[in-house]
Amino acid sequence: MSEVISTAFENQQSATPVKQGAEPSYPYLVYESQEDLDRLEAALTELRKTKTGAKLIDDATEHKTPIRLDRAMRAYGSYDEVTNNLKLNANNDENRMVGTLAHELRHAQQFQKGILLDAYLDTPKTYIQNQAAIEADASATSCAVCYELALQGNDKPLEALRQKDPHFVNPFQNAAVKGGLVDGSAYQAAFKGWFTDYMTRDSYDILYIKMARQRRSNCTREEEDKKFERVVPVADVVEKVCTCNGKPYMSRKETEEFFSTPDASTVSFERFNNIYANCYQKFDLKYSDMENEMKNKLGLTVRPHSNYMPRPPKTEPLPIPTVENRQALAAEKIAAAKQEKTAENKTKIPLNALLQKRADRGK
């Protein structure tokens, strides 16, 4: 997204130096110093160690997405879908930067697939739900990259991600331990976990209001007439971008059921009033019955400020299988398969014996 709402002032850590004069491994890196190049290369190197990260980098290369560090930004990172520029907060430490880079590269990948998001043309509910969906998906993808690294013995990026966002990291890990990287259930667990943090959701409600105001300042007369009318079903967006191993990790039915719950159509009290102010003339909303008008005409209901909402549930993470454990498990499966095959062979009657039996019967 154009901006990720989160504060990021963490201590920098040194990156592995890149050989002086060497060409960047990613052709669209933008940097001002050797130190910047070293840090960007270090993050890219970690991503390339994983299947998910390598695919993200390949897609960004194909679409010529510039990547740079920014020392003035407050967010951990950002991706601007209009200019196709990706920025990482230079104050991130090297472990946090790995997850952030994966998150922002996923956003680049999402918009490459042609999703539609316009804060001024879309209905408020459409924009809010679709914005939340792509953020939840990008968060799930950052989990995947960090978890794959943890399986290889480097759990620092995963722990850096967990420190801030355990509400979706732990559900992802627990599903991944049970095989959820293959069938997509780990992605789905993280996706749904994202929605349990109301402080984050409040932040993106604020971002929506900001984006709508920015679009209004440069809209055409035709767009002004069509403001807040366009409906882009969230199931279409999820089906297009929320994928694992090339397949959607949530079916259309699952998506529609999830976003039809009462909670999925709520916005914070402050933003509820902002949306009313933006839309009351367009939709002839009566102030005397604001809540019912907003519910019936815009499909939105109000929720208390995040301070008054339940905290994200604390899910204890299951231990990540070590290389030794996975090797032992694979050896057990191979041994079991061999035993099963041996048992099958013992029950089979050799062809010669079978023919002899038939010949004996003929006598």
In 3D space, the residue among 30, 43, 323 whose CA is nearest the CA of residue 160 turns out to be 43
Q: How confident is the model at residue 9 (pLDDT cuts 50, 70, 90)?
A: very low
Q: Which tens digits make up the pLDDT trace of 25-46?
A: 999 999 999 999 999 999 999 9
Strand partners, 128: none
Which residue carries 């095989």 as its tokens?
A: 179
Pairing of strands 85-89, 67-70: parallel
State the pLDDT at residue 14: 43
Residue 311: Cβ-neighbour burial (10 angstroms; 0-12, 13-18, 19+): exposed
Share of the chain above pLDDT 90, in %: 77
Average pLDDT over every residue of 11-25: 60
State the pLDDT at residue 328: 63
Sign of torsion over alpha carbons 281, 286, 290, 296: negative
Q: How confident is the model at residue 362 (pLDDT cuts 50, 70, 90)?
A: low
pLDDT for residue 82 is more than 60: yes
Q: Which tens digits make up the pLDDT trace of 280-333?
A: 999 999 999 999 999 999 999 999 888 888 888 778 899 998 766 656 666 667
Share of the chain above pLDDT 70, in %: 86
